[in-house]
Amino acid sequence: MKLALQWPQTLASRLWLVFLVGLILAQSLMFAAQYYERYESTKTAMLGNFEHDTATSIAILDRLPAAERPAWTQRLQRRNYDYLLRGHDAGSPLTSNDLAGTAAQSLQVALGRDYALSFVEIPGPHPHFQAQLRLSDGSPVTIDVRPSVRPLSPWLPFALLAQLVLMIGCTWLAVRIAIRPLSRLAEAVENLDPNAHPMHLDESGPREVAYAARAFNSMQARIAAYLKERMQLLAAISHDLQTPITRMKLRAEFMEDSAEKDKLGNDLNEIEHLVREGVAYARSVHGATEASCRISLDAFLDSLVCDYQDTSREVSLSGKNGAVIETRPHALRRILVNLVDNALKYAGTAEVQVSKNAGTGVSISVLDRGQGIPEEVLAEVVKPFYRVENSRSRSTGGTGLGLAIAQQLAIAIGGSLTLRNRDGGGLCVTLDIGVHP
């Protein structure tokens, strides 16, 4: 099974990987160079001391009486070598070219001019070598050498580890500083909605960050201006159409009664209704211009439902919240009126429910028992002029702006609109709005 290495998907993880690998490689190279330099320095110093110490020790033993030599061998013993007043152990001739061979050469330099040396390599779990010579009185002396070099101090690995941790911490801080403005920009782009309140990015900071923030703010302003211009154009056209429509309706009143007159009147009524809905949709984009005020939600909904009941419409209210919310009441009322009218149009009855949602706000749901909306077009019905039915009849298909206006106004008051089909048939449209203490 072959493991495929994949390049990280996020910029932060890629920067982390590059910096971390670079730091580890740099630390490894520095450690290797330092280790080699200290190894060579330690070996040179050790061999220099080794030559001088062995020459001095052998000279002392050679001048001592034979009876005093055993006591002196304890004093002359070192960590890596000691002196034995006997012949060497059984072994093979020394042929090593590593540290043992270098130490043997140092012994030859220090003692070879005055004594005949023989070297043997002693095998075992801890290999070492022995050098044998004879003093001036013929007594054998064996130098048992266990060559080793400790180029690193015990504290050095901890110092290198602390240095690596410090560099990783600085790298984390650098990556965070570099990624944070980009994350804010990505979040602002993700939440960019010309119909909602603009999210103005802070233009302070490094030059590149400030330039990107200014560019985003300018783009956001241009989009808002473009949308405003188009909505003003739609509102102007819709408003100007009302005058010729009114004239046409007046002229139609002077026509003789006939089927054609009735058809013309119906067509003019449909055109007038469409124009009014167009004006309402254009105005809904600017719903945020209405001043906010605090209202009792229960009293507001009770008044809305009573207005429908006074005209003999089957609209009921269930649930109590008791919340006092700060919102734009006219926009909220238009949202609920559109939703209730839709429910009455397609089901004949509507039920308004109010409850607390899982967050910090309230949910207002309008439910009906109509045919519902196919699941595949639930996200499409809130778009302007989209109608589920293909019929051109306004009594069945509508203008396709009711839910679009509700959606725009919901965004304008800081809420959200959710549509779902009910179990057993029907539609549930929920408006979630926040509660400000």
Q: Does residue 175 belong to any structural domain of this protein?
A: no
- Considering the domain architecture, whether residues 274 and 315 belong to the same structural domain is answered as no
pLDDT above 90 covers what percent of the chain?
A: 2
- Per residue in 41-74, pLDDT tens? 777 767 777 788 888 888 888 888 888 888 888 8
Give CA–CA dist 226/222, Å, rounded. Answer: 6
Residues 275 and 298 placed together within one structural domain of the fold: no
Indicate the average pLDDT of the chain.
78
Q: pTM score, two decimals?
A: 0.47
Closest CA to 416 of 195, 235, 171: 195
Domain with 212, as residue range(s), is 193-285
Q: How far apart, in Å, are the Cα atoms of 185 and each of 11, 209, 213, 217, 427? A: 14, 9, 7, 10, 38
One domain for residues 296 and 411: yes
Check residue 271 and give its pLDDT.
Answer: 77
- Strands 416-421 and 427-434, by their bridges, are antiparallel
404 and 315, same structural domain? yes
Q: Point out the domain boundary residue: 239, 269, 285.
A: 285
Q: Are residues 301 and 378 in the same domain?
A: yes
Torsion angle, alpha carbons of 157, 160, 165, 169, to 10: 180
- Token digits for 62? 């050679």
In a shared domain, residues 239 and 312: no
394 with 301, same domain?
A: yes
Question: Based on the domain organization, do 278 and 316 belong to the same domain?
Answer: no
Residue 187 lies in a domain: no
Q: Mean pLDDT across the stretch 298-319?
A: 88
Q: Within a domain: residue 181?
A: no
Specify whether 262 is located in the same domain as 388.
Answer: no
Domain boundary pick from 252, 285, 318:
285
Total H helices, total E strands in the chain: 9, 12
Within 99-206, where are the H helices? 99-111, 156-190
Mean pLDDT of 115-135: 82
Q: Give the pLDDT mean for 123-150.
A: 81
- The predicted pLDDT at position 392 comes to 37
387-437 residue pLDDT tens:
665 443 444 545 567 788 788 788 878 788 888 898 888 889 998 887 655
Q: What is the pLDDT of residue 393?
A: 41
Q: How many domains does the chain have?
A: 3
Least reliable range by pLDDT among 104-118, 179-193, 415-429: 179-193
Q: Which of 323, 332, 315, 317 is nearest to 356 (CA)?
A: 323
